[in-house]
Structure 1
């Protein structure tokens, strides 16, 4: 009976883990991030990203919204340059419930049991957002977010905003003293 109560909890955990964006960030610890207040995109790098132009626009629009909310300004003479890169893969989850069995209880009543394997294939993507010092062209920060992708046009905007917001939560880095 306890195992039946755990199934909804397990399914909630599985669904929650599919919906979340896993993030990571790395940065140059010698850089003073307080000096950066303006940014622009590296158009040549963005043109090379192998996703649809519509998805590029969604990502750049989300970056603009998030950076503006953080107090940064898009500029023709930026202190920081921004680039993006994407990767797509398929996440394959196999749930093995393959159990066979036979037993006898009181009165010689036999029981049989059988289970199944369940395979789930989910498209998963990774978005990298890179920041470079505009003068030196050195990378100063990189954020990375991974999670499931959606083909549903109505949900794409929200999903991309979620990716960008989660990644840029890490910027600017909190320097530990």
Structure 2
């Protein structure tokens, strides 16, 4: 019986860890041009006109660009004045509204408005939570053709006043997206 109790004690801790880690995750999506020959791209540079349009402060832009540069260089790409590929970014923000219905307690018979008479649950405790979710887009553009060849987007909450946490969160966004570049050959 003791050997069964140990795993049962670990399950709640693992469940809590899973819930906490899933709350902070970045949702990633990527798309790419199936006709592009990704093996041909060896060098990159940042596309300043596109980056200048991103609605971010300059500090966050630099954090994002450093993270992208580190990811590309780790994959063997070289930063160049005469690049094969241009890198641009842009952002969007969405207002997220979550409504939690925490109905609990004893129910009772009663009038339910349009629903007429019937059983109604006890103390309804609706809670509304709003937060701003940011979406970071990374565009990779064929430098010769000036055509988009790959796009990654990462969605999640970025707001934090702690600069170290913010920098780590930006690296997480970029890393999760760039994990899917270049696309796997089929």
Q: TM-score range by the shorter chain?
A: 0.7 to 0.9
The TM-score normalised by the length of structure 2 is: 0.79
For 2:140 and 2:157, how far apart are their aligned partners in 1?
Answer: 24
The TM-score normalised by the length of structure 1 is: 0.83
Instruction: Assess if the C-alpha contact under 8 Å between 2:103 and 2:122 holds in 1.
Output: no
CA 1:120/1:16 → structure 2, altered by over 3 Å: closer, same or farther? farther
Give 5+ residue unaligned stretches, structure 2: 1-10, 109-120
Flag as ranges the 4+ runs of structure 1 deviating above 6 A: 6-11
SS class of match (2:167):
helix
Confirm whether residue 169 of structure 1 aligns to residue 179 of structure 2. yes
Range moving further from structure 2, 90-99 or 124-133:
90-99
Residue 89 of structure 1 deviates from its aligned partner by: 1.7
Count of aligned residue pairs for this structure pair: 163
Confirm whether residue 114 of structure 1 aligns to residue 123 of structure 2. yes
Confirm whether residue 144 of structure 1 aligns to residue 153 of structure 2. yes
SS class of match (1:157):
helix
For 1:94 and 1:10, how far apart are their aligned partners in 2?
Answer: 23
* Residue equivalent to 2:8: none
* Residue equivalent to 2:4: none
* Residue equivalent to 1:109: none
* Residue equivalent to 1:57: 62
* Residue equivalent to 1:129: 138
